[in-house]
Chain A
Amino acid sequence: MHETEIHDLSDDADYAASQQQGSASIMRSDSGRQSSSSEPDGAEVVYSKDNVTIHPTQFASERISGRLKLIKQGSSLFMTWIPYKGQSSNARLSEKDRNLYTIRAVPFTEVRSVRRHTPALGWQYIIVVLSSGLAFPPLYFYNGGVKEFLATIKQHVFLVRSAEDANVFLINDFENPLQRTLSSLELPRAVSVGSGHSTSISVGESPLVETQERSNRNVRDGRLSVSEYSGRPRQKSQDPARDLSIHVLEKFSLVTKFARETTSQIFGEAHTNGFGAIEKRRYNQSSIDQPQKVSNSVEKVPDEAPIASDPLEKISCMKHNLGEEAATDVGNFELINCEEFDKLALVWGKPRQPALGPEEWVTFLDSEGRITDSKALRKRIFYGGVEHILRKEVWAFLLGYHAYDSTYAEREYFRSLKKSEYETIKNQWQSISPEQAKRFTKFRERKGLIDKDVVRTDRSLSFYDGDDNPNVNLLRDILLTYSFYNFDLGYCQGMSDLLSPILFVMGDESESFWCFVSLMERLGPNFNRDQNGMHTQLFAISKLVELLDSPLHNYFKQHDCLNYFFCFRWVLIQFKREFEYEKTMRLWEVLWTHYLSEHLHLYVCVAILKRYRNKIMGEQMDFDTLLKFINELSGQIELDAVLRDAEALCICAGENGAACIPPGTPPSLPIDNGLWYPQQDDVL
């Protein structure tokens, strides 16, 4: 087997070259006695390669070369990369920089994968991704030897070539919860292995080892809450998690590289000039705002540069990093934590597409008007929404008013049935005489409340403005009819916000009513008297934040913000007040596809919070300030970016995310169709 693997490498030019040159000192376990003598007892260097170099910046003068080693101790394999000392080609590279990038005895139990890159021009390089999702900067093999490196790993730990990408080699250990923390990274066909665990490391200088262990522990602590959720085994054979997993690896490594650069630069300045140096960087963000800078080192660069809307945010996040760095040790890889990811890495979702137009729409319909592949349609709308002209037709499906497999004729018939049904219900309240109304307090109260609210709904929109606007009357009639259709739920503030775009799109009174009814089937619990629908969703958000951003969760916990009431308006009326009208409609149709999750709106909440997390934590916002801050985000949130983030988070969270959301959480249909809306009216 040994032989076969080596034979496997015979086509590797690098390997051949290195063999011939003899410049690389390749030691195998059975022949490495020579070099292992320099290592502590029990440790054995099984691979060593000189002139493995990182490119912290684009400048050739700032490259750092070093020696890459694989060290075996007991049943465990470790990787080290130590930059050469005193070989300073450039004065700008301080000893600190070298320390920063040094890789000290990383056990392979903590490595998730190795990706091999073979650019058409230049050196072959690898990116090592840890199970925590972090990645080391690309290691360029100036003297070749990538295949040899991989072959050596394969001899000692379980290495499997990814079925999706022949250049990705997975080192999987699904017994280790850490390995599963980012469920999006789960790759199929990976087999569990019994590779050794990193108990004690006696490789290298002991102080370094200590630091390493300490920071490893930090990482674990920081992610503990995440791994708690990894209880259920996942069975996911379906894209897009799989499609994205490789993509995700790429982005992570890209990001980590940025983070490293930034941290290194900041540290350099802070170290020499004191912390005041950070302030200066507020005006000089170019180095981190340009992902193109490293585009030569990874094949794919995000389609859009991540939004650095607020330079202050980034600064506070850097401060945060710096603080943490000071608290542990300079240059420990683990210190480059998730902070930067929020801005940089979350934009890995598929780019948004243009809205679905009429020409494409007809391709989803068969000759009789059935939607043949509703999933494909929902997917299409998920990624781009629909053009306004189509909304009237498409929303009826998305909301569940029309069945996807209905024909044109069936829908026509259904509409006429529903129209008369609507008229019947409407007539119930229309036929209440003034005398009767006098003795019908509940009716008067409801009508009074609706009358007051419809004239306070989207009046700035020309569709609803002006005196005696017939559309405002339609709003009122539909809401009042609904309060008779669902007398238990009645009318509650916020409903007019949900109805307004539906009426605007559907135009027709009866159609609007029934589409609203369909929406309320899903969102009705938002308006329950006891607010249980709202509480369930806010609770789910808190669990999702705990899963996806435990530092932010801890912050909220410390500041008594775990009730998430600051997300109340978002959830109650589906972000209606947070975006302009057109954007709201776009968001709604995306949410209504239920494509990735029927609870995507909860991930949207998390995505927005993550976007502003550094500001929230940096400014130490308390509950009041946070509430005000969130309120004032209205009109400031970039929809497409947030949708991409939400998608990525949803995929990332996978089933662990789904497990955060209690059954029956709106818009899921209630688990039990008992009394869901027992409540009393109130008028104020």
Chain B
Amino acid sequence: MDLNLFFVAGVGKSCLLLQFTDKRFQPVHDLTIGVEFGARMITIDNKPIKLQIWDTAGQESFRSITRSYYRGAAGALLHSSFRRETFNHLASWLEDARQHANANMTIMLIGNKCDLAHRRAVSTEEGEQFAKEHGLIFMEASAKTAQNVEEAFIKTAGTIYKKIQDGVFDVSNESYGIKVGYGGIPGPSGGRDGTSSQAGGCCS
């Protein structure tokens, strides 16, 4: 199964992504123009799942372009340094994502633990509160120490996986950012496995 995750907002996404895909920390990474991609295989319920993560340009000016990428995403990771000025942008981003992505998109808010405590204006509690209010999963992670990085991605994927099993997603619709391969997970739209012979071994 392929899952598309969408990665937005905040400086340091690329570092976090690199930590997840390559298990290394690279403090210096050219800023993202447009969109970049990372991918990794994970396992949930003994099922191999390919997570494909879209790492998008941070600046809001590009929103009219990056918006078009939302449609193909099953989930989103929202990264915030938890400084007041950037934190305030989260709500506006969320509104946009909800408007342009599918309604069942799973969104995780990742607080950046890298940022030194004294530079943070937003507390963990406030972050949790925000997440709760907006129906997000919340976690704090550090690209530098790798703490919680793995967990954040896998938890997001796990939530999506569960939604698929619960029949929230119609996996036959690729616009949900999910592609199910042969022998994929049994979903409510069962019987699809092997019915299609599309390239890439996906019965989209």
A interface residue numbers (CB < 8 A to B): 441, 445, 448-449, 452-453, 455-460, 492-494, 496-497, 527-531, 534, 563, 565, 568-569, 572-573, 577, 619-620, 622-624, 627-628, 631-632, 679, 682-684
Please judge, given known A-B contacts A459-B30, A531-B65, whether A631 and B59 are in contact too, CB under 8 Å: no
Please judge, given known A-B contacts A531-B65, A682-B61, whether A494 and B33 are in contact too, CB under 8 Å: yes
Q: List 30 A-B contacts (CB under 8 A).
A: A452-B11, A456-B28, A457-B31, A460-B28, A492-B61, A493-B31, A493-B33, A493-B57, A493-B58, A493-B59, A493-B62, A496-B31, A529-B61, A531-B61, A531-B64, A565-B34, A565-B69, A568-B34, A577-B30, A577-B33, A622-B174, A623-B72, A624-B4, A631-B34, A631-B35, A682-B61, A683-B89, A684-B10, A684-B58, A684-B89
Contact of B30 among A456, A527, A563 (CB under 8 A): A456
Nearest A residue to B8 via CB reads A684
| Shortest Cβ gap from B118 to chain A (Å) | 16
Instruction: Determine whether the beta carbon of A627 is less than 8 Å from that of B65.
Output: no
Instruction: Determine whether the beta carbon of B61 is less than 8 Å from that of A631.
Output: no
Q: What 7 A-B pairs come out closest when comparing CB atoms?
A: A682-B60, A569-B34, A456-B31, A493-B59, A459-B28, A568-B34, A531-B64
Max chain A C-beta neighbours (<10 A), residue from B28, B61, B86, B89: B61
Query: In the docked arrangement, what's the CA distance between A577 and B57, Å?
Result: 14
Query: In the docked arrangement, what's the CA distance between A628 and B28, Å?
Result: 23
Please judge, given known A-B contacts A445-B85, A493-B57, A623-B72, whether A531 and B62 are in contact too, CB under 8 Å: yes
Contact of B9 among A452, A494, A627, A684 (CB under 8 A): A684
Query: In the docked arrangement, what's the CA distance between A455 and B26, Å?
Result: 13
Instruction: Determine whether the beta carbon of A457 is less than 8 Å from that of B30.
Output: yes
Chain A neighbourhood of B28, CB < 8 A: 455-456, 459-460
Instruction: Determine whether the beta carbon of B65 is less than 8 Å from that of A565.
Output: yes
Query: In the docked arrangement, what's the CA distance between A497 and B34, Å?
Result: 13
Would you call B68 an interface residue if the criterion is a C-beta within 8 Å of the partner chain's C-beta atoms?
yes
Chain B neighbourhood of A445, CB < 8 A: 85
Would you call B117 an interface residue if the criterion is a C-beta within 8 Å of the partner chain's C-beta atoms?
no
Query: In the docked arrangement, what's the CA distance between A497 and B10, Å?
Result: 19
Instruction: Determine whether the beta carbon of B9 is less than 8 Å from that of A493.
Output: no
Max chain B C-beta neighbours (<10 A), residue from A448, A493, A497, A534: A493
| Shortest Cβ gap from A273 to chain B (Å) | 23
Chain B neighbourhood of A497, CB < 8 A: 33
Would you call B37 an interface residue if the criterion is a C-beta within 8 Å of the partner chain's C-beta atoms?
yes
Query: In the docked arrangement, what's the CA distance between A528 and B35, Å?
Result: 18
| Shortest Cβ gap from B166 to chain A (Å) | 25
Chain A neighbourhood of B68, CB < 8 A: 563, 565
Chain B neighbourhood of A684, CB < 8 A: 9-11, 58-60, 86, 89, 93
**Chain B contacts with A in 87-102, Cβ cutoff 8 A:** 89, 93
Query: In the docked arrangement, what's the CA distance between A682 and B90, Å?
Result: 12
Instruction: Determine whether the beta carbon of B31 is less than 8 Å from that of A453.
Output: yes
Please judge, given known A-B contacts A531-B64, A684-B58, whether A458 and B89 are in contact too, CB under 8 Å: no
Query: In the docked arrangement, what's the CA distance between A492 and B59, Å?
Result: 7
Chain A neighbourhood of B93, CB < 8 A: 684
Instruction: Determine whether the beta carbon of B30 is less than 8 Å from that of A458.
Output: yes
Taken residue by residue from 1 to 31, chain B's Cβ proximity to chain A (1 for < 8 Å, 0 otherwise) reads as 0001000011100000000000000001111
Chain A neighbourhood of B57, CB < 8 A: 493
| Shortest Cβ gap from B153 to chain A (Å) | 18
Chain B neighbourhood of A448, CB < 8 A: 85
Instruction: Determine whether the beta carbon of A619 is less than 8 Å from that of B30.
Output: no
| Shortest Cβ gap from B143 to chain A (Å) | 14
**Chain B contacts with A in 28-55, Cβ cutoff 8 A:** 28-31, 33-37
Query: In the docked arrangement, what's the CA distance between A205 and B35, Å?
Result: 58
Query: In the docked arrangement, what's the CA distance between A449 and B89, Å?
Result: 14
Query: In the docked arrangement, what's the CA distance between A675 and B4, Å?
Result: 39
Max chain B C-beta neighbours (<10 A), residue from A572, A624, A631: A624
Contact of B199 among A452, A577, A620, A679 (CB under 8 A): A620
Instruction: Determine whether the beta carbon of A628 is less than 8 Å from that of B30.
Output: no
Please judge, given known A-B contacts A456-B30, A572-B33, A684-B9, whether A624 and B72 are in contact too, CB under 8 Å: yes
Nearest B residue to A632 via CB reads B37
| Shortest Cβ gap from A200 to chain B (Å) | 44
Query: In the docked arrangement, what's the CA distance between A445 and B86, Å?
Result: 10
Instruction: Determine whether the beta carbon of B37 is less than 8 Å from that of A534.
Output: no
Max chain A C-beta neighbours (<10 A), residue from B34, B37, B59, B65: B34
Query: In the docked arrangement, what's the CA distance between A448 and B57, Å?
Result: 16
| Shortest Cβ gap from B130 to chain A (Å) | 15
Please judge, given known A-B contacts A494-B33, A531-B62, A628-B37, whether A682 and B199 are in contact too, CB under 8 Å: no
Query: In the docked arrangement, what's the CA distance between A453 and B65, Å?
Result: 20
| Shortest Cβ gap from B20 to chain A (Å) | 17
Query: In the docked arrangement, what's the CA distance between A456 and B34, Å?
Result: 15
Instruction: Determine whether the beta carbon of B35 is less than 8 Å from that of A627.
Output: yes
Query: In the docked arrangement, what's the CA distance between A622 and B9, Å?
Result: 25
Query: In the docked arrangement, what's the CA distance between A682 and B93, Å?
Result: 12
| A492-B59, A493-B33, A569-B33 given; 15 more Cβ-contact pairs under 8 Å | A449-B59, A460-B30, A492-B61, A493-B31, A530-B64, A531-B65, A565-B65, A565-B68, A573-B33, A622-B174, A623-B72, A627-B69, A682-B61, A682-B89, A684-B93
